[in-house]
Structure 1
């Protein structure tokens, strides 16, 4: 089905003006768009500001004369100064956010020939940033003026590579998108920030499946929802955000929940059920813990992702659903494929954009900004904003970033901890007593995880070297090796072991300090890690 053509553009206060009969001898850009014999404009959204309403009405009347089939909709876009960038951009942004774009049935042309230069620049930038989901329309006067001469027009698709020189990413919009994905949290971890930068670009440009890996509580569900909200704000998605934890799906109910069923297809199926995939039509489906899905459901999901159609349980006729998939897992799916528990073809299909979200212990520098964010969130929910006093804050932060803090539940543990302290805060002050109680609670909660089996030093040292160790050195070395074996690199282990003393050094070299310590006992990182 051919899409309806909708033009969006400002009335030209000079170029479109004219009242006498002689106006038809002139080229007027907005009217001329509707005069092309081979183009039918179904609707023209004619924007104007305040005092130019009368001119807009006159231009609309002339459009109706030359193109009765064109519906002209007058839109007052308030701005005091059309040469003020901030005013113009804000006015157009508000218009774009409130306008109901229907990209499935309508094609949008954004006219950039009329309006002030500032208006034209803002229209370009907002189309390039997908706030206006369409193509730029540039019109030109005819070589020879005469009645009914519409001139020429060019459509510019900013998605095409040949326009790369003029379609540079608008840095402010990209930065806003990244900040949106992080909920405005000023995260400091370089690896995490680089990952979010790429996710923002992929979310805007691609509809392909995305795979989010990471431990429980690392924020996979939260990030998936933010991706959905970002795409919805850019008019790239219209449907719902649908989320399901696949670990809750068992037996026959798994297929029914995901793909729906037909009435009478099994005992208890008293009516038709559409299923979650159909509920996510034109939206985003987040399947958390996708590794828990059964092999039959995996095969049906692969067909649904690739062909946008599938059979409901007990059905004879395929149904359709066009959704974007984001999958989450805390398993190593490559290992699951090798073990025969996950389909290789499905893994290949969802493994195009794969991101591993680090746990909280791998992002100690991000604990503080996340605590500040949680203080605001929990305070708003409870109607009482809370703050640490200086000593209490320093003590909590020192423990939170130390190797003693397991953060096994990651951000769920952190959120629960902040919630408890805010709830107990009298007059909004989190003091040292509240922090003492909270740290004791966290230590009790993590105690089973803080007592790993004692490391056998003889497995990495010769009997002679082990026999020469003082008890003090042996106990200290065991603790150091335990930290090393739970760290990703020599530098990571060094940061954990020297978290306090490194703050006093202008150029801390944690890896070098740890390497020298291990060398004293004839050990190296490769031996320990192995």
Structure 2
């Protein structure tokens, strides 16, 4: 048996409402638009918003509740200005969304409030929250309003309503400064174990090495470790070592003195000095050259450094967290990374799995990312991923990991014309990045590989080459590939989807 929806009137409380309370010597005074509407039309509850001081509103609410037997709810809805469309929209949308979730049958009283309030009611009542409209005046009484047009604003791509600066902000989300372990969204057993290990490391002032492919969340883990440590009240200084030119790396790490080189017009502290007492996060740590590794080893061993062009040693107390997508043990074996430095930084080690290996995480992570995107701009509010789009997400390898997934969902949300991001929206937002010719033979197996995909790519490349060489003669192509006959070649082509 279906639940009956409560017929609910929604309205702002206006000045005429507050002035309209009847008293024995005010028999001819108007009772205000809200009370007049409730007197005339049948409702089961009323939901009122107000931006007046509570002392002014409470007498009116007490009078209203005595006058009518049904539920009267009132909600403070502070505005920076009664004509600020952004504030009005946020308040009105929040309460209409709540009432829609409670399955109310909505009616909106347009009369109280400013023209900006009325415009927002019409926008929301004609697009997101289907409603009846009423207006009340002393001259015409209470009337249902027919708004004789449809609003298509909701079906315009959200990107049209977002400025360039905001788009750039959305495209580079970064990691929250106050990131905690709760920000790491997962239900995967391996990731849950890593979170637990990271929390233990956070409580111990030891160097941490975070390994993992690009986009797996290494900085998120690093910030969470810092924020859970006893250094949380000090600086967290991140640095991407791969983005520093070799001739400036010493200066960036250890600072320089005025006149140390051309352009050094003042003393400048390096990241070690900036992070004193706190945490220094060196991302892409495996990119540092051997001569820099030597200086780093001394800082870690003796806790002192000398700025470029300086003579005096500086004491430093930092907690070092490093991260890299490289296999540093391989780099050590090949002579590209100092073994003594490796063991210095790898006291606590976390190896983050790629997204494709985080079973059970793709769906909840995608939902979480869309929610985060929508919270950053009203134009994207209430976007969600459809079932067919989720199925498509689950089929993708996401070689760029969380970063690629976020970027794809952002593009889909920007150009999606409705509330639901469809599989078509998602498909249009995806990039197909071709592999380099040497990638298949140079992949780092310690980071995880898809052997079936590698086989498929190799088979596809050589079958196509053989067919091209033989002018599409399958018998000759089969011979060139060492296959028994053209039928075997057909079977391979069918198995690997080669047309």
Name the TM-score, length of structure 2 as normaliser: 0.53
Residue 188, structure 1, aligned to residue 187, structure 2: yes
Q: Report the Cα offset of residue 472 of structure 1.
A: 4.6
2: CA distance, partners of 1:353 / 1:265: 36
The structure 1 residue matched to 2:401, chosen from 397, 406, 410, is 410
Residue 215, structure 1, aligned to residue 213, structure 2: yes
Equivalences for residues 353-368 of structure 1 within 5 A: 353-368=348-363
Residue 440, structure 1, aligned to residue 431, structure 2: no
2: CA distance, partners of 1:474 / 1:239: 60
Match of 1:380 in 2: 375
Residue 325, structure 1, aligned to residue 320, structure 2: yes
2: CA distance, partners of 1:184 / 1:343: 32
C-alpha spacing 1:343/1:445, structure 2 compared with 1 (3 Å): same
Q: Report the Cα offset of residue 465 of structure 1.
A: 7.5
C-alpha spacing 1:447/1:182, structure 2 compared with 1 (3 Å): farther
Deviates most, 339-348 or 467-476: 467-476
Residue 274, structure 1, aligned to residue 269, structure 2: yes
C-alpha spacing 1:395/1:244, structure 2 compared with 1 (3 Å): same
Match of 1:475 in 2: 493
Say which SS state the counterpart of residue 454 (structure 1) adopts: helix
Equivalences for residues 130-145 of structure 1 within 5 A: none
1: CA distance, partners of 2:357 / 2:497: 19
Q: Give the gaps of 5 or more residues in structure 1.
A: 1-178, 481-530
Q: Report the Cα offset of residue 283 of structure 1.
A: 0.7
2: CA distance, partners of 1:337 / 1:448: 27
8 Å CA contact 1:406–1:446 kept in 2: the answer is: no
Q: Report the Cα offset of residue 387 of structure 1.
A: 3.6
8 Å CA contact 2:256–2:264 kept in 1: the answer is: yes
Equivalences for residues 54-69 of structure 1 within 5 A: none
Match of 1:394 in 2: 387
Say which SS state the counterpart of residue 452 (structure 1) adopts: helix
The structure 1 residue matched to 2:246, chosen from 247, 251, 261, is 251
2: CA distance, partners of 1:464 / 1:446: 31
Equivalences for residues 85-484 of structure 1 within 5 A: 180-183=180-183, 185=185, 187-204=186-203, 206-231=204-229, 235-383=230-378, 384-388=380-384, 393-402=386-395, 405-426=396-417, 429-432=419-422, 435-442=423-430, 444-446=431-433, 452-454=457-459, 466-467=484-485, 470-478=488-496
Say which SS state the counterpart of residue 327 (structure 1) adopts: strand
Match of 1:10 in 2: none
Q: Report the Cα offset of residue 426 of structure 1.
A: 4.4
1: CA distance, partners of 2:222 / 2:354: 16
Deviations 1:402-447 (A, max 9, x none): 2xx23122111111122123323446x1243xx30321331x4345
Q: Report the Cα offset of residue 469 of structure 1.
A: 5.6
**Where do 4+ consecutive residues of structure 1 move more than 4 Å?**
447-451, 455-458, 463-469, 476-480
1: CA distance, partners of 2:295 / 2:429: 45
Q: Give the gaps of 5 or more residues in structure 2.
A: 1-178, 437-452, 467-480
Deviations 1:283-322 (A, max 9, x none): 1111001111111211111111222211111221110110
Name the TM-score, length of structure 1 as normaliser: 0.50
